[in-house]
Structure 1
Amino acid sequence: MITINSVFKYFDGERIRIIDIIEEYVYLVNIDAVTSMPRKELIKTINEEIDAEKLIAIKDPFARIINESDLSKIQIYKRDEDWNFISKYWEVNKNEILEKNSRNNILEKTSNSSNLSLSKVKKIFSRYWQRGMNKNSLLPDYINSGGKGKEKKLSDNKVGRPKRADYNGDIVQGINITDDIKKHFEIAINKYYRNKNKISLKETYTLILRDFYSDGYKENNEIRHKVWDKSRIPTYDQFYYWFKKSQDIKKDIIFRESGKEFDLKYRHLTSNSTIETDGPGTRFQIDATIADIYIVSALNRERIIGRPIVYAIIDVFSRLITGIYVGLEGPSWIGAMMALDNMLSDKVEFCEKYDIQIIEQQWPAKHLPDIIIADRGEFEGYSPENLINNLNIKIENTSPYRGDLKGIVERNFRTLNEKVKHKTPGAIQKEFRKRGDQDYRLDATLTLEEFTKIYINIVLHHNNKIIEKYPIEKTMIEDEVVPTPSNLWYWGIENKKGRLKTVNKEILRLNVLPKGKASISRAGIRFKGLSYSSEKAIREQWFVKPTGRSISIVYDPRNINKIYIPYDNGLGYDECYLMEASCQYKNCILEEIIFNQELLLELKAKSLREQNQINIDLDDEIEKIVKEAKKEKQQAISYEQSKNKKLKGIKNNRSVEKEVNRVAEAFHLGEEIISDKKEAIIIELPVASKKDETTKFTGKARLMEKLKKKRDENREK
C-alpha cells in the first residue's frame, strides 16, 4: 500500500520517499541525492512497478529514536532554526512547490523573503523530504549525529531468543523479520543466489546488506556503501534460518546448475530400465566412451597413438552385451556402425580372430532389436531412416547430457575403466599430475588389438556374472534362474515375447553405411570428384546418352574403392568400382581424398596471381609484335596495285614464300666445323660449271638472286 512517508527502492538501486498524495498522483523524492526536488508520478504507475517487483518497499533508513540529551547545543540550534523555516514556508506553499511549473518562482520568492540563498532553501527542503519530514530530519550531518558510539533504544521489542552480549558486554536485540524483510531476502536469493555464478549464502547476505541496509555516498568519485548499525539490520543467522525454512532445493539446483544436472544427479528414482522391456531384444542401449588408457601403434610400439574408443550395445532386459567395437573411430556414426555390425556377428567366430576360444552359450547374441536407445553422439550427422524403414528398428534418442537414461551401458564402462586403471600400463591414474609425477602416457604398452582382447574378456566375464541388484521376477525364482546376463537371455527367449530378429549381414551393412548422391555423365558415375562404373551401367549404356540425373548411393568412407547403388528398397545393391581415371585414389580413405582435393584448390588459388601476370605479359607481347608489324606494313604499302590484284596474287605469293622458307629451313650438313676456339668456319662448296648460272651463287647471295628473279617474273605478268 502506498502511504505518505513510505520508502521504496527501485531494482536499479534508486531509493525514493513518498512526500504527498493528491488525487491520482503521488509526489516523491530521491533520498540519496544531495538535493532532490519532488517529481510527479501516477499512482497507477507506482502500483504496477510494485506488482512487477521493480519497486520494493524497504525500511526507512532515517527512522531513529534520538534523545534530546544526546544532541549538542549547536545541533539543536541549527535544527530548530531550519524547522522554523519549514513551518513558515512549507505548508502555505506546498502546492506550488510540488508542481514543477511553479516551483522555481516560489523558491526564489522564499529565498528573498527569508534572506537565504536559493541553494540553501533547496537544501533545507530536500533534507526535510528525504529524511522523514519531521523535526529531527533537519539535524545537521544526520548520519554522524545522534550520540556516536551509544546504544539506541528500539521502538519495538525484539521477538525470539534474547541475544547474547557482545564483546563490550552490550546486548543487541536486533530486529524482527517482517514481511518486507522476507521480501528483501527473496529478491536477493532470486537475483544473486539462483544463477550460474554460484555465489555462497554468505556473499548473498552481504549483497542484501548493500542493497537494502546501507547508505550510499561518494568517495573519490566512487559510490561507497556504509552499512547501518547492527541494531537495524537482520543477522546472517536470521537470513539463514529463513532460507532453510523456505528453501526450494529443486529450484536452487536448476538455476545454479541446470535442469539436465538435476535430472542426471538429483531426480528421484522411482523406476528401472527392465520394467520398460518384455524380453530380450525389446531394447538395446548403445553408447561410447573414451577408455582411460593410452595405447601404442602395432607398427612401432614407440609411437603412442592416444586413447581408444569403446562402443558397447547391451540388451536392457538381460544385461547381455550384444555388440562391441574397439577402435579409433568416434564417438561418431562410423564407430556406432562398427558396433552394429558386430551385433550381428557370430561371436564364436569373432573371438577366434583374437585367439579366444568360447562356446555360443558364453556369448549367444547375433540379433537385431526392436528399439535402439542412443544419444546424439552416436547418430550425430546421420539420419537413421534406413534402419527404421528397411529393418524396422526404432531409434530413441536421449536428451543431451542424460547419460543416466542409458545407465546399464554406462555402468559397464565404469567397470571397464576400473579394471583398466588397476591392471594395465598407460592407464590414467588421476586427472591432474603434480610437478615431478611420472607421465602415465609414457607407460603405454598395449596395442589396439591387445586392448581389444582385454575388453572381450571383460565382456565374457560380464555376460556370465551374477547381477546383484537385478529386479528378479517371481517366475524366475520358481524356475531357479541365477541372474546372470546369459541365463536371463535364454530364460527370456523361452518365457517372454522378446523382439529378437535376424537379417543378412550384408543387408545390415548396406543400410547402416552413410548415404550420398552421385551423378551420371559420359565420364562415369561421379562421386566426390571420382569416377566409377558398374556392370549394370555398362549393360544399360548409362554413359552413352547421360541425362545428367543423380542417383542415391551408399559408401564406406574408410575405403572408397567401391560404392553401392541400393535397389529393391534396400534389400539389394549394385556394386560400382573405381575407374582408371581415378586410380590415383585407390585404397584411400574419404578424408584423404577430400584433403587432396582441397589442397589442389589451395595450390591453384596460390598460383592464381602468377598466372594472371603471365596472361598479362602474353597479351603485352602480342600487342608489341602486332604494333611492329603494322609499322613495317605501313612502310611497305604500295599504292600501284589494286585491292583485287593483291587478293588474286595470294597463291603466287604463297609459292614464293614457301620456296624462300625451304631455302632458309634446309639442313646444310658439314658446312660448319667448330674449331678449338669455338669459331664457325665457312667451307665453300665446289664451283659449278659456267653453263649452270644458278649454281654459281651460294648462301645468302643465291637466295637474294632467286627473290629478284621471282619479282621480275611477277612484274612481267
Structure 2
Amino acid sequence: MTDTLPAIPAGITHPFIEGQVYRERRTETVLMLENRIRQAYRGANKQRVRMPKRFYMRVLAVMKEHVVVISTEDPRARECFYPVEQAAHFVETGEWLPTDVEPLAVMRVPDGKLSPAQLARMDKNTQLIQPLIDMDTEALLAKTRWPVIRRISQERDVEPAHLFRIFIRYLQGGMSPQALAGRWFRRLKGIGLGARVNMATEAGVLRNPAGRPRLDGRKAYVVLDMDVKKIIAGSRKYFFAGSTAGKRRRAWKLTVGNLFLDLDCSDGVPSDGELARFPTGSYPSYKQFCYWSELDDDFEMLLRKLYGERRFELWLRRRRQKTASKVGGPGAVFFVDATPLDWHLVHQDTRLPLEKKAVLYLVTDAFSHMIVGFYLHLGNESYDAVSLALLSAAEDKVQLCARYGRKIGPNEWVSACLPTRLAEDGAGANYKNGMLVKKRVIRGLTIVPAFRPDLKGLVEAYNSALAKKAESVPGHTNGPKERGDESPVALACMDYFESNRLIISWILQTHYHVIKDYPRTPEMIAAGLVPSARNLWDFGLTDRAGRRKTWPMESLMRWCLPTAKADLTRDGVKYGEMFYEPVPGTLPKFNDWCANAAENGSWRVDVTYHPASYSWFYLHDGEDLVKMQLAPRSQRFASWSVADYEGEKATSAVAKALYEGENEVRDIAHECEQQQIIEGAMAKTKAVRGSVAERRRDKSDRAENLADQKHQIAAQGVTPPPSGAGQPPASLAELQAEDESEIAEMMEDAS
C-alpha cells in the first residue's frame, strides 16, 4: 500500500514494515483467539479443527498514529488499530516478537509450483476483489468498503459475505494474491447456522432470498440477518420437533403475525385473509420459514450427534424465554415436581422414627408463581402422588388446611383450580395415561427431561428454598456434617401432621414475597403492580382473563385417588384391619355378596381410598364407584390417616417384637426344664430295669416265651368252660384275648 505514512513518532525505535509477521504472546489476546476459534468451528469435523501452537499476526499498514494489524489464525479475523506508541511498547516488552515464519501454508509454496487449479482459483478470487485492492488503505475502513462489496455482489452475483471473506484472506496473506490460491473456504463447511448468520451479521448486507422467485415476476421477501433471528425465534417458540406440516404452517403464520406484521394473535392464528391484506414481499414466505427452521433443526441434530444427548441438554441447549411471559394467565400452565423432604418424620403416637422417607410434591402456577397445591407422600415417587397433588390444587384450601389442623381465611389462599397444561418429569411422566388427561380435564401434558431443571426452574427454586428452610428443623438431613454429630434420626421430632402444618405456613408466607426479575408487561407497570404471587394471581384473574377450570369435587376424587386391593368377606369389605359397608341404599346386592363369601370364601376387589382419611373409600362395581363407610366394629379408625395407621402398625410391630423376645426366654427355660425331667426319668428307669440295651434284650426273650406257651396250650386242646344258660357261646377272638391276658398275668407273677 503506497499512501501509508511510515513516519515514526519521536522516541519510537521500532519501525514497522508492511507485511511483517509478529508472534502474539499477550495472554488475553491468546485466550480470546482460542475462544473465537472454538466458536467458529463448533459443529465441524473434530479432526479438521486443530488449535495452533503459536498465534501470528501481520502488519497491514503503518499510518500517522496507528499500526493496523490482522490475525492470521482467526477464521473471523478483523483489522485491529493500535496506537504506534502502544505497538512499540508491545515490541519492547516482548509481547510482540518479530519473526520470519510464514503462517499461511499456501504462501510458502513458490509461484512456479502452484497447480493449475490453484492458479485459476487465485485469478478468480483476485478478479472478484480487484476493486477493493485498488482502493488501497481506504479498503481498511468499513464505511468505505461495504458499498463497494454490495456493488460487486450485485454485479457478479456472489454472496457479500463470501466477498468479504476473500478480502480478509487477502489481508491475512500480506496483501498478496497468492493467499487466495488455497482451499481455505472449505473449512467453513459444517460450522453450522451460528457461524453463517454471524457472518451475515458482521457483513451487514442483504442475503439472497431463500427459495425461488415467484412466477408472476415479483421478488420474494429479502431475508436480513435480523429477520433470520426472528424466523428462528418464531420456529423455536411455535413449532416443536416431530410436528406435522400443518403445525409448521401454523408456526409460520404466528411468526409472521407477531414478529413481522404486528398483528394481534392473542385470539388465535392469523387467517389467510388477514395475511392477504399485506403485500407478498413484505414478510417471509412459508418456504423461507421452512428453510431457516430446518437449517436450525439440522444444526441442533449435528450438535446432538457430536456431543451426545445429555451433554447437549446440559451445556449446548437453546436459551428459552421465561414461561411467565408466554402464558395467558393464572391456571394456564402448572408445574409439578417431587423433592425428598429434608427432615425425618416420627410416628404420631409412639414418636418413633418412620421407616419410609417422605417426598414432597409441589404444584406451582407458571404465571403468578403461586404454589397452588402440595402433597406429602410416604415412600418413593409414584403416579398416585401426582394425582393427589393435583387433587389438592383443585381442592378448597380452607378444607385442605383444616384437615391438618390449620385454620385460614377464605382469602388467604385463593387458588382452587386445575391447569390447562401440565409440565412434569420423573415418575409424573407416566401421568400421560392419567384420568385427568383421558377425561380431557388437562388438555396438554409436557414431559421435560429430569436433567433440564431450567424447563421447570420455578418449582426447582421453591424446592431449594424449602431445603434452606429445613436447616432449622430438628432432624434435617441436609447441610454439612461433622464427625461425632448426632444422627438426624435421633433428633427427629416432627410427625406427619406437624410437617404438613409447617409446609402450609411456609407456602402462605411465599405468596407475599416480592419476585425479582419478573417479566412485567406494560399493563402491570402502568397499574403499579408489585410482583408477588398473590398480586399476580389477582391481576391475572381481573385483567388477563385467567383460566380457572373447576370441576365437581366428587368427580375429581374418583379420578385422582389411588387404587388398592381389598377382601370381600362375610363381614364386609376388609382393607387392612378395617371393615367397610356401603352407604345404606347405594348397593342392594352387597348382602348377597357377603352371603356368597360366607359359603365359598372371600375374593379380591378393587377400592379407591384417600390417604388422609380412612373413614370412607370407593368400591369398584364394574365401571361405577360405590362409596363405602366404616362398619360399626371399625369406628375407632374413623379419624385415622396414613400416618396414624403406619404408626399403629409400627407400635404393634414393636410390641410384638418385645413379646417375641420374651417368648424366646420362656422357650429356653421350658427346654431346660424339659431336659431335667427327661434326665431324671431316665435315671429312675435305668435303676429299676437296667440299661436300654438290657431292656431291649429282655423284651425279645419275653416275646419268644409267649409264642411257646401259645403252642403248648393249643397242643393240649384245652376247652373253654361252659357259658351260662341262655347266653350265646363266646367267639374265638374273645377266647384268644382272655388267654393272652392270663398268660401276661402269669409272666408278671413269674418275674
Q: TM-score range by the shorter chain?
A: 0.3 to 0.5
Structure number with the higher helix fraction is 2
